């Protein structure tokens, strides 16, 4: 599948600065490349950055099929189309699962792997409230405020509603639509199950960025990660949750800046 993406060309902050190579950012479930503009602009000071819309998200095509394996194949197609060599993958949540799967199935290909707040294991599809909040007809609504009020009946969390609404588009007709394939994602409820095998390991240099109060990573996960990745570094933002690239952006960028300054 040909994915939609945005390219942020390398913009060195000094004449002497050399590129680290190409960086590819993979967003999480219900997200899009729009969630990563600030991060991408910052990282373009180290190399060219591709922010990618996964299938069924953003401006990428919709499909009835949605899995980590298929998203990894989509990523491989994008890499081949642009002749990208030894990229650095940064993946959050679902994007992190795709990045790890790609690394396990393409040993030695990546320059580095950066994984945000997810482990290489099965996760339940615990997003019924999110799906319900995007499943009512939109044709009768005249504003985002009206839509938000209706969404709040199903999803009280204001932060998550605002996150989802980054994929809410007003068309030329004045009507609203979801750029997300809500029905397709709802039918992909085994998306996070049985993706990884016990035998999969990696020698790729990898940095795990974890939120200290996140519900997505526990102590068993840390042991699993250590067993899977031999060239591992883990950094934790103690007061952060699952969306540390947004809620703790200053600290997040400082960690990335230190990491990318070491990459040659």
Report whether pLDDT(264) > 80.
no
Q: Which domain holds residue 171?
A: 128-186
- Is the pTM higher than 0.95? The answer reads yes
The pair of structure tokens assigned to 212 is 């200290």
Q: Which pLDDT score is estimated for 15?
A: 81
Q: Which pLDDT score is estimated for 147?
A: 98
Q: Mind listing the pLDDT tens digit for each residue in 244-256?
A: 999 999 999 999 9
Q: Mind listing the pLDDT tens digit for each residue in 3-59?
A: 999 999 999 888 878 899 999 999 999 999 999 999 999 999 999 999 999 999 999
Percent of the chain residues topping a pLDDT of 70:
100
Q: For residues 140 and 155, which has the higher predicted lDDT (pLDDT)? A: 155
Does residue 168 share a domain with residue 207?
A: no
Q: Which pLDDT score is estimated for 186?
A: 97
- Separation of alpha carbons 168 and 178, rounded Å: 5
Q: List the CATH number of the domain containing 226.
A: 3.40.50.1820
Q: Mind listing the pLDDT tens digit for each residue in 163-221?
A: 999 999 999 999 999 999 999 999 999 999 999 999 999 999 999 999 999 999 999 99
Does residue 45 share a domain with residue 110?
A: yes
Does residue 103 share a domain with residue 10?
A: yes
């Amino acid at each position: 599948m040909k994915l939609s993406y945005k390219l942020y060309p390398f913009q060195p902050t000094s004449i002497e600065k050399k590129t680290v190579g190409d960086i590819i950012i993979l967003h999480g479930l219900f997200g899009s490349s729009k969630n990563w503009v600030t991060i991408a602009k910052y990282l373009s000071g180290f190399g060219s950055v591709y922010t990618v819309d996964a299938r069924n998200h953003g401006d990428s095509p919709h499909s009835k099929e949605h899995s980590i394996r298929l998203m990894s194949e989509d990523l491989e197609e994008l890499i081949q189309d642009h002749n990208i060599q030894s990229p650095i993958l940064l993946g959050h949540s679902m994007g992190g699962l795709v990045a790890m799967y790609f690394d396990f199935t393409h040993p030695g290909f990546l320059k580095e792997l950066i994984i945000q707040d997810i482990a290489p294991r099965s996760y339940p599809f615990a997003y019924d409230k999110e799906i319900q909040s995007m499943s009512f007809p939109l044709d009768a609504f005249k504003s985002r405020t009206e839509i938000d009020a209706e969404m709040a009946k199903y999803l009280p969390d204001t932060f998550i509603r605002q996150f989802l609404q980054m994929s809410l588009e007003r068309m030329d007709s004045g009507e609203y639509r979801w750029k997300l394939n809500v029905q397709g994602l709802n039918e992909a409820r085994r998306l996070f199950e049985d993706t990884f095998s016990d035998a999969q390991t990696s020698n790729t240099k990898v940095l795990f960025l974890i939120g200290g109060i996140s519900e997505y990573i526990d102590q068993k996960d840390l042991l699993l990660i250590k067993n899977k990745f031999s060239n591992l570094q883990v950094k934790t933002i103690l007061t952060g949750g699952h969306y540390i690239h947004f809620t703790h952006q200053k600290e997040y960028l400082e960690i990335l800046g230190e990491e990318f300054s070491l990459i040659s």
